[in-house]
Chain A
């Protein structure tokens, strides 16, 4: 492939995206389509913001709906109670949420895996309770009405302005993601995603990195939520703090692929359009929930790296010409393959060695056949746990204590 086109090709999606966003308002046949476009763009911004945490660190947050809700309410309250101009309030709200994200992130990121997800869901539920109960400030169930930033504009014009604002915000989020992705900081984050303890042992300040990227993610989420508040005008705790919002974001990001710049955006386009479609087709039934559920399960079970990356992988397998010599396999996948290969070979004695061999992964054979990942779940889980307690320092449960407990 010639050099010039190789350098220009990455620009193609940028141009396409810019053209699509700039031309859509003129192409949209009526204000309704334009407003649907804003909803989809809102999802795209939020999913891209989610992907700062999900994509770079591998931490799956179901609580980003809460951050968006906070951004919305903060914007609304700053406009109505503090009398700030709309867009000053939007920025101030984002700063506030970012500040709040620091202690929040410190609490949530202290724990890994299950506890992190539980905390993220709990965040949504507790904010719902607080914003509903604290009626004197938030208006409670009566809702909060955010005045229009451009009262003189007719509704279709209003939509058009906000479509471009959202387009700008999306571009900013994508650009930031791209910069982080190519930086040293991003490299550290990706190391953290593949193996937190090893990254930490190699000198990556994992906690600080996680916290920074969490705050970055919260800021963009708050900006998205705040812009939504200014556009939509009516805030109600029940709709602002919904676990469903967070799950849509996860679905979008996973569907599009969390490891890539445009993944969440594509996911948002697909899911956002699909939600409209489900509403049209199964209007009077709650089957849209079933469709969302089934889609999420399929993505997680069959294509955890995203549908589009899976399709792209199939495509490049078809045309092997431009195959590079570097494998595109994550450390996690590699470890899976090795565990199952090794366990097939070593029989029941495997568990005794499992702690050791994942650490010395370099020597293990790869590939062979990832036949039964399920049966070996315990082994590699155990193995990674050992690594973590070995590399993470300061953790109280040393292997010795574990053995003691096993005997108990």
Chain B
């Protein structure tokens, strides 16, 4: 049996551990008002499953901070980003925002990436009464949690991404209109939301669903799903995809020589590496997008120019969403005239609820739940390049239907 010495030793170790845990945390700086920089706390998935888009979002935030600071800062104060890595885990993201708000005493917080992480982190922000503008929680679930402090800084939620495409399809003459559709969506609230948004509208319009597949995010072999879709000979294939799964699904469909009349995939086709990844067989693929580098909004030109100068390439949707988030927060801070924890946050929240904000993705406004009121543009790969084809008033090219062979 253990000797008494051992136990005392352990007790000492325990005490040491407890005190060291307490000590290493101490000395939280006094943040809040004053003339110091405005500290903006962010937790992002820089490692783990969402690390790719997470890094895109990070660049967007960095570009925003630089552009704001180069033009004199906010309220005359510099903006300082405090970015923590949440390892793509919900436990961590909550701990991160606890740390940012409680320990680091940041003045503002903005959102992380992916719906799975947005809901838990929004709750932390909500319970500390902080304004929470986020760039990536597009799924419907985010807006049914009763958050009063949350705003999604993009034109539309996931289920509305394909609205323009659905209108177009259902407006086709009856003999051209597709009869059947196949859906394959990643088991992820955002990706599934996009596909099911379109599914609901097409089903209501009489397009029959012949395949409805959901695959886990870690799926790497799409042979069987593709076989099902190919065997169904559906006129339309819709992929609720992130990046790599979309690529894999398209390659698997091509391996089976399946030729639909219309193919729409979320996210993946707008990625700059997409064409190379599927061997340039991109012809006619459709994708919704909330952002275009060529969009005519006033602040967008400045953003594209300065972002390209800073990072050596043009911004994508993730970067733009993060930048938009920054713009919304900045507009609120300028209008209200404060940026610190406490009463100021409620004023900021009230202001965003009551106003419209000009951003790089257009003019944004929100309903009571923080849901943006808009729809996404539809892009299509035409002649080796991706172009806006819907809605008609901003189109760069005419939509090609039926889709040529890929």
Contact = CB atoms under 8 A, between A and B. Distances in A.
Nearest to A10: B7
A30 B103 contact: yes
Where chain B touches its partner, the secondary structure class is: helix
A316 B3 contact: yes
Interface stretch (B93-101, B379-387, B391-399): B93-101
A5 B217 CA distance: 59
Contacts of A9: 4, 7-8
A204 interface: no
Interface in B246-304: none
Interface string A232-243: 111010110000
Nearest to A158: B127
B3 A33 contact: no
Nearest to A245: B91
Interface in A135-182: 140-143, 145, 154-156, 158
Contact of B25 (A20, A32, A141): A32
Given A232-B91, A279-B85, A286-B48, A30 B102 contact: yes
Nearest to B22: A27
Contacts of A234: 90, 94, 119-120, 123
B5 interface: yes
Contact of B4 (A10, A16, A286): A10
A6 B124 CA distance: 48
Nearest to B8: A12
Interface residues of B, number: 55
A347 interface: no
Where chain A touches its partner, the secondary structure class is: helix
A12 B7 contact: yes
With a 10 A CB-CB cut-off, give which of B48, B84, B99 has the most chain A CB atoms. B99
A88 interface: no
Contacts, number: 159
B39 to A, nearest CB: 15
A17 B26 contact: no
A140 to B, nearest CB: 6
Interface stretch (A56-64, A191-199, A262-270, A338-346): A262-270
B17 A270 contact: yes
B188 interface: yes
Interface of B: 2-11, 13-15, 17-18, 20-22, 24-26, 28, 46-48, 84-85, 87, 89-92, 94-95, 98-99, 101-103, 116, 119-120, 123-124, 127-128, 139, 141, 145, 187-189, 192, 216-217
22 contacts: A20-B15, A20-B18, A32-B98, A39-B95, A143-B141, A154-B127, A156-B102, A158-B127, A234-B119, A234-B120, A266-B10, A269-B14, A270-B17, A273-B17, A277-B24, A279-B87, A284-B46, A288-B87, A308-B9, A312-B2, A312-B9, A322-B5
5 nearest CB pairs, A to B: A32-B102, A9-B4, A32-B103, A155-B127, A30-B102
